Amino acid sequence: MEQALKGMKVVDLSQVLAGPYCTMVLGDMGADVIKVEKYPIGDDTRTMGPYINEESYMYMMVNRNKRGMCVNLKNEAGLQVLYDLIKDADVFVENYRPGVTKKLGIDYDTLKEINPNLIYCSISGYGQTGPYSNKGGFDIMAQGLSGLIDMTGERSGNPAKVGIAIHDIAAAETAIQSILTAYIHRLKGGKGQYIDISLVDSGLAWTVWEAAAYFGKGEVARRNGTAHRVSAPYQGFKTKDGFILIGAGNQKLWENLCRHVLKKPEWIEEQRFLTNSIRAENAAELEAVMEQVLTTESSDYWLDLLDTHGIPSGPILSYDQTLNNEQIKSRDMILDYEHPVVGSMKTLGFPAKFSETPGQLVKPAPLLGQHNKEVLTELGYTPEAVEQLTDDAVLNNRPSKVEA
């Protein structure tokens, strides 16, 4: 089937997670993504395990559907290779701090002289402006600055990091939508443009309920376990043999829960639990009395009963249970494919299901410098010139049984 972004050319200088995740999604949708890795060792995630046949699974998880090069940009000839790539590129993605790109000669002002239609996307910890712009910023620092760590964890516990690199992924998703917006603008006759993406800004923009509470009545979001800030019961509860989630987030669901599941119809008229907002204010008391009932039976018992009466609920799974769950498998969220060095392997599937232009897993993550020759040949370099660039420490290829 035709892919939606077929014909889009992306040059990707980013590494680790935010940028590579962004360009992977563009590649999934059909863009020709050329990943240019730093000389001589490549993307930092290549040094992160687990490894299979010396290939990093971390690297392979976010770099499928890309062609790979390894170019020495501190060398004049290597910089010229990048400039040649930029000439007919639609999108350029990098994740350097301010000033570094100018020092390298790959800043927006320089590259737009080569290609005025270029969409240049910069992803960094704090953005290109502001007092923190020159600081190094990873996901955990972004979580700290955005207030996310302070508001995550049990009510009486220590601050906790969110279990995934949520600001990295937020920045990646923000970059994707921004790049596509700029691309549509250009298709409609507009110019190329510069896009400044910050990990902090991207994650902070998702804190909409917390911002509403603060702007509306000066309430600061605090640690609340699994409980919702303005709705109850809407959290995890202990049962006889584990924990389950219950989301009776409106009055009708609450009353059904009391009457048909918990067998406590008297709670409907109890002043502590009279309305949703009052229940939220008394969430700790509500949790305590509900768990007195819920701990009398197993998780499966309650989930079946909740489902019977149409009350949103679900299990709390460990990650291995998630990856083996029938719902996850039925949605093709686990894909099997072949890698030239690793062999048979698994990766996560495409979360968006398109009827006409679905995402496709066309190629595995590239080996280091795997497509140096292929890409440069397309740009008009002769085989002898490519070989000379390799000899001159401009290009690097990973020693492998797989031909580059």
Contact criterion met (CB below 8 Å) for 39 and 70: yes
Distance CA 85, CA 79 (A): 10
Q: Which amino acid is at 27?
A: G
Q: H/E element holding 218?
A: none
Question: Which of 348, 337, 402, 370 is closest to 61 using CA atoms?
Answer: 348
Distance CA 57, CA 60 (A): 5
**Which residues face 198 on adjacent strands?**
124
Catalytic hit among 28, 32, 168, 201: 168
Q: Which amino acid is at 185?
A: H
Distance CA 189, CA 197 (A): 24
Q: Which amino acid is at 300?
A: D
User: Which ranges of 129-165 does DSSP label H, i.e. alpha helix?
Assistant: 139-145
Contacts of 236 (CB under 8 A, 6+ apart): 225, 226, 243, 244, 245, 316
What does the radius of gyration of the chain's CA atoms come to, in whole angstroms? 25
User: Which backbone phi and psi does 65 adopt, to 5 degrees?
Assistant: 55, 40
Question: Which of 171, 121, 174 is closest to 143 using CA atoms?
Answer: 171
Q: 168 catalytic, yes or no?
A: yes
Contact criterion met (CB below 8 Å) for 96 and 108: no
Distance CA 171, CA 21 (A): 9
Pair of tokens at residue 358: 């679905």
DSSP assigned state of 152: -
For strands 243-247 and 234-238, give the pairing: antiparallel
Judged on CB neighbours under 10 Å (0-12, 13-18, 19+), 330 is: exposed
The residues annotated with a catalytic role in the active site are 168
